[in-house]
A and B are shown apart, each in its own frame.
Chain A
Amino acid sequence: MSQATESDVREDGTIESVSGPVVTARDLDARMNDVVYVGSEGLMGEVIEIEGNITTIQVYEETSGVSPGEPVEGTGAPLSVDLGPGMLDAIYDGVQRPLDVLEEKMGSAYLDRGVDAPGIDLEKTWEFQPDVETGDTVEPGDIVGTVPETPSIDHKVMVPPGSEGGEVSTIESGSFTVEEAVVELDSGEEIRMRQEWPVRQQRPSVDKETPTEPLISGQRVLDGLFPIAKGGTAAIPGPFGSGKTVTQHQLAKWADADIVVYVGCGERGNEMTEVIEDFPELEDPITGNALMDRTCLIANTSNMPVAARESCVYTGITIAEYFRDMGYDVALMADSTSRWAEAMREISSRLEEMPGEEGYPAYLSARLSAFYERAGYFANINGTEGSISVIGAVSPPGGDFSEPVTQNTLRIVKTFWALDADLAERRHFPSINWNESYSLYRDQLDQWFVDNVREDWPETRQWAIDTLDEETELQEIVQLVGKDALPEDQQLTLEIARYLREAWLQQNAFHPTDTYCEPEKTYRIMDAIKTYNDEAVDALEAGVPVEELTDIESAPRLNRIGVQEDWDEYIDELEDDISSELRELY
């Protein structure tokens, strides 16, 4: 966390009243959204309303024991994050205080109050490699050098967006702390590795482009049926227990982004601990390095102060934008945006604002869309291209998708992964309902799959969708008359659709092999089932009874492809076995 402590000095005020996370102060000279320090303990807060000489502040820490009359000190700067090397492999609270540093400073396993810590280590030195030479002209956003931040990621040191730019007069390689100047311009301006940026303000870019490349998640149901683009937006709504968090974790682990920012917003402490313990041990399937090397975690658990929950998504997206500016593909997971919305509602109700739908503030929709609009595929101001994909979990009360947060989110996002309690109940995981979900990126991403996986990817996928659709219709009839009353070809469709569900859509996140499925394997499994279908249809036409077709010995092996490490040979062999077994029948 950083505040511009040296900036213009402003008048301090005194506390007028305290009610939970909302404090009012009298005679405080501050601007909207300025960071202030509240009370004698110096609790961090943010100005959210100014009325006459009364300023309303949301406080990011517990306010027990704070009393009227205590001082409030302004910093004159809005809530900002520290940007620079050291953010990867870090775990922050909602206002970018590193949790490991807090533990050390507080000397306790519990979060104490009034302790501040910079977002990046100010004393650590980094190896700086210049990318420009003396005499070169640089402009805001330009990359002037590189720091090997982690084994996976080279951190690009950029001219801050607010700089004047100019000619480079001094630049040297060597070890520097983030606060030492690495570049001097002829104007006398010094460029450091550390930048600051206010979290509620989008970082500048030149243009937003149409995304054409998928964010490969390694999850068959997502890559196969409902792909998200690099630079796209997705929502995962679902009732509790339907697997939102596991899906988010799977994406954080296996998505082929360069950088992952994971925002745990108002969720469970133990879940964040799981991420902290698991990620350093997991291997990135692309680089082979530890997953933590490309990950930045923001943990604001449900029992941590509610105002910091409101700010944590902004902290996350600002960090994501900074890496985007370096030309990286960033994926941001927010779990859960409903908790963020509830934090807004809680603060709004303490301010006694006129409520909109279900007590949420009237600006809910505007805030949500402004946040998701910070995603996209961007042309950066330094000429590079980078993307931010945002995947937000939504926790609708009672699993009812008609509630305001889900509805307002769906109006913005282009991918909808609907989690289904019924599927979860029968342990069909990931429990993404294939009838309700959609991806509006499907058509624009098809070309990529054709070029990089298989030429007939779109056709094969369409066959799978049609088969699943037909099954849904047939199931309604089966519920009334039983399976045996159906014509034979429809009975076969049911069996094929069952394999699509069990062997293809289902995927075991806890199995070491099945947890990640490359697009090629996703295609092969789907295609193997299609082979079975095509061969069986031929056999059926030749007069073989459907029971014999579905009872063949090799078919159940389809269900085991997911867990095979050498799936390529396994599928070759299986397809041969299925074909020959079926052909023997006629």
Chain B
Amino acid sequence: MKEYQTITEISGPLVFVETDEPVGYDEIVEIDIGDGEMRRGQVLESASDHVAIQVFEGTEGIDRSASVRFLGETMKMPVTEDLLGRVMDGTGQPIDGGPEIVPDERQDIVGAAINPYSREYPEEFIQTGVSAIDGMNTLVRGQKLPIFSASGLPHNDLALQIARQASVPEEEAGGEDGSEFAVIFGAMGITAEEANEFMDDFERTGALERSVVFMNLADDPAVERTITPRLALTTAEYLAFEKDYHVLVILTDMTNYCEALREIGAAREEVPGRRGYPGYMYTDLAQLYERAGRIEGRDGSVTQIPILTMPGDDDTHPIPDLTGYITEGQIYIDRDLNSQGVQPPINVLPSLSRLMDDGIGEGLTRADHADVKDQIFAAYAEGEDLRDLVNIVGREALSDLDNKYLDFADRFEEEFIDQGYDTNRDIDETLELGWNLLSMLPKDALNRIDEALIEEHYREDEPAEEVAAD
């Protein structure tokens, strides 16, 4: 292992070093800054006589006499089942005062792509206990379903509710395949207060023992954020595909991750893409999100719920936009619903789960699920449209049916969506609630539902105002 004291340039998070021996691309670097302090970094560009290094912990205090060592290997994550219950910083060092981690294996943190031929198509329902998700935008094992949120909205409460309540039907039925649920929490640039909120909840509910936590806080170095999700996902893959866990990975906040990418791109003087973000951001994000999935012949699965805050509530901003093109749907948190006090304030109309259609139906959830969902979407969209109109012409000017759609939209928000963060509804409750609401509409307005299902479920009597759901 050769040591160099030949730093030529230090700029932002980057250090340039002259070398006389070849250094591998992506290799890990240790920089001794003099007083015994070590910084770690990674090779971003390797030429025959110099290399560019990005330093994870920041370049503060590094001078040209610092010595640089190339470790001859790419970044690895020590993995073991004992990681469950542990809390680590953004670079994977334990910060919970617990015992040293004795790894079973050390795995490359830049995961190789899963061969599409080796994947298994995700179609097993995960019950989150949240009606807006289970009923309308169902999550399945192996899916990547982000939460599109914005500043000041309660996305963390929703993420915690999902982490607490998520279960798979077979687990409830006794769990014959023995796969357990594990949660991996990767925090990138969140505030200490948010971090406490998560940790308190994990400890209070006992969720910590089935969790692995990676914490990169807002005042930690930004560049470190680019490796935190990779450490989290490497751990997730190990637990899922070698130890048969069903792993739920929550990554928050992807916006901070992308900011870090932009920072590095700018420091390297790259040609920027949209809004200054690097042109390769799509590829980079895909390398994270695509690590969700299932593999044929393995029992475990990796399901991802990345959270991102949309700058200016704008979903055409490059971060939500590129995310939406990679992930299999998205859940929108809505500012208006939030100010109405709806908990969780999920706007189901723009939300989507792409894998839903194969994950619901007879044998998976219930035979009427798809039709009920389609009809609720259509009716709620109709009601939403009419709300604009009613502001102009008033309710009296509308037909009976239109008034029913308006009532439907109101009750849908009040009863179906607004369930509170502590209510855990099973899929039957959610669908029955859906039928209660749909029965407000005349039978022949239910054109998305199979006639036989209408006969079976439609409430002939006036639908009860009060719904016994919780």
Provide the residues of chain A in CB contact with B328, threshold 8 Å.
268, 270
Can you name the residue of chain A whose Cβ is closest to the Cβ of B377?
Answer: A427
Cross-chain contact B48 with A303 (CB below 8 angstroms): no
How would residues 255 to 277 of chain B score, 1 for a CB under 8 Å from any chain A CB and 0 otherwise? 00000000000000011111000
Cross-chain contact B330 with A109 (CB below 8 angstroms): no
Task: Say yes or no for B370: interface residue by CB 8 A criterion.
Answer: yes
Cross-chain contact A69 with B287 (CB below 8 angstroms): no
Provide the residues of chain B in CB contact with A26, threshold 8 Å.
48
Taking the nearest CB of chain A, how far is it from the CB of B289, in angstroms? 8
Pick from B290, B370, B398: contact of A482, CB under 8 Å: B398
Cross-chain contact B25 with A65 (CB below 8 angstroms): yes
Provide the residues of chain A in CB contact with B115, threshold 8 Å.
99, 102-103, 106, 108-111
Taking the nearest CB of chain B, how far is it from the CB of A482, in angstroms? 4
Cross-chain contact B279 with A349 (CB below 8 angstroms): yes
Provide the residues of chain A in CB contact with B273, threshold 8 Å.
345, 349, 358-359
With known contacts A110-B113, A345-B279, A479–B388 Cβ distance under 8 A:
yes
B residues apposed to A, CB below 8 Å: 21-27, 44-48, 73-74, 108, 110-122, 142-143, 241, 270-274, 279-280, 282-283, 286-287, 289-291, 293, 295-296, 298, 315-318, 321-322, 324-326, 328-330, 349-350, 352, 354-355, 357-358, 370, 374, 377-378, 381-382, 388-389, 392-393, 397-399, 444, 447, 451
Task: Say yes or no for A301: interface residue by CB 8 A criterion.
Answer: yes
Cross-chain contact A358 with B274 (CB below 8 angstroms): yes
Q: List 15 A-B contacts (CB under 8 A).
A: A16-B47, A17-B48, A65-B74, A66-B24, A67-B25, A269-B114, A273-B121, A339-B282, A349-B271, A349-B279, A397-B318, A398-B317, A399-B316, A426-B381, A482-B397
Provide the residues of chain B in CB contact with A234, threshold 8 Å.
none
Cross-chain contact B316 with A17 (CB below 8 angstroms): no
Taking the nearest CB of chain B, how far is it from the CB of A268, in angstroms? 6
Cross-chain contact A70 with B22 (CB below 8 angstroms): yes
Cross-chain contact A270 with B377 (CB below 8 angstroms): no
Taking the nearest CB of chain A, how far is it from the CB of B64, in angstroms? 22
Query: Which A residues from 303 to 350 make CB contacts under 8 A with B?
Result: 303-304, 306, 339, 342, 345-346, 349
Cross-chain contact B110 with A269 (CB below 8 angstroms): no
Provide the residues of chain B in CB contact with A270, threshold 8 Å.
119, 121-122, 142-143, 293, 328, 355
Provide the residues of chain B in CB contact with A273, threshold 8 Å.
116, 119-121
Cross-chain contact B111 with A110 (CB below 8 angstroms): yes
Cross-chain contact B321 with A103 (CB below 8 angstroms): no
Provide the residues of chain B in CB contact with A69, threshold 8 Å.
21-22, 48
Can you name the residue of chain A whose Cβ is closest to the Cβ of B385?
Answer: A426
Task: Say yes or no for A118: interface residue by CB 8 A criterion.
Answer: no
* Bound-state Cα–Cα, A349 to B282, Å: 14
Cross-chain contact B142 with A112 (CB below 8 angstroms): no
Provide the residues of chain A in CB contact with B73, threshold 8 Å.
65
Pick from B24, B44, B108, B393: contact of A67, CB under 8 Å: B24
With known contacts A62-B110, A269-B114, A482-B397, A18–B25 Cβ distance under 8 A:
yes
Pick from B21, B287, B349: contact of A425, CB under 8 Å: B349
How would residues 61 to 87 of chain A score, 1 for a CB under 8 Å from any chain B CB and 0 otherwise? 011111111100000000000000000
Pick from A19, A272, A480: contact of B392, CB under 8 Å: A480
- Extra contacts besides A67-B22, A481-B393 (18): CB < 8 Å: A18-B24, A64-B25, A64-B26, A64-B74, A67-B23, A70-B22, A100-B117, A241-B324, A274-B121, A302-B286, A303-B287, A346-B283, A349-B270, A355-B271, A397-B321, A426-B381, A478-B389, A484-B397
Cross-chain contact B290 with A303 (CB below 8 angstroms): yes
Cross-chain contact B389 with A99 (CB below 8 angstroms): no
Provide the residues of chain A in CB contact with B117, threshold 8 Å.
91, 99-100, 102-103, 276, 299
* Bound-state Cα–Cα, A230 to B463, Å: 53
Cross-chain contact A112 with B121 (CB below 8 angstroms): no
Cross-chain contact B116 with A303 (CB below 8 angstroms): no
Cross-chain contact B349 with A68 (CB below 8 angstroms): no
Can you name the residue of chain A whose Cβ is closest to the Cβ of B120?
Answer: A273
Provide the residues of chain A in CB contact with B370, threshold 8 Å.
510
With known contacts A270-B328, A397-B316, A479-B389, A352–B271 Cβ distance under 8 A:
yes
Cross-chain contact B295 with A65 (CB below 8 angstroms): no
Cross-chain contact A111 with B112 (CB below 8 angstroms): yes
How would residues 354 to 377 of chain A score, 1 for a CB under 8 Å from any chain B CB and 0 otherwise? 010011000000000000000000
Provide the residues of chain B in CB contact with A425, threshold 8 Å.
349-350, 381
Taking the nearest CB of chain A, how far is it from the CB of B328, in angstroms? 6
* Bound-state Cα–Cα, A421 to B354, Å: 14
Provide the residues of chain B in CB contact with A65, threshold 8 Å.
24-27, 73-74
A-B CB proximity, top 9 nearest: A398-B316, A302-B286, A17-B47, A426-B381, A240-B324, A303-B290, A109-B118, A69-B22, A99-B117
Can you name the residue of chain A whose Cβ is closest to the Cβ of B322?
Answer: A397
* Bound-state Cα–Cα, A109 to B240, Å: 13
Task: Say yes or no for A446: interface residue by CB 8 A criterion.
Answer: no
Cross-chain contact B112 with A359 (CB below 8 angstroms): no
* Bound-state Cα–Cα, A502 to B328, Å: 26
* Bound-state Cα–Cα, A395 to B326, Å: 11
Provide the residues of chain A in CB contact with B352, threshold 8 Å.
241, 424
Taking the nearest CB of chain B, how far is it from the CB of A275, in angstroms? 9
How would residues 247 to 288 of chain A score, 1 for a CB under 8 Å from any chain B CB and 0 otherwise? 000000000000000001010111111101100000000000
* Bound-state Cα–Cα, A482 to B396, Å: 11
Provide the residues of chain A in CB contact with B357, threshold 8 Å.
510
* Bound-state Cα–Cα, A111 to B115, Å: 5
Task: Say yes or no for A20: interface residue by CB 8 A criterion.
Answer: yes
* Bound-state Cα–Cα, A215 to B67, Å: 66
* Bound-state Cα–Cα, A559 to B447, Å: 7
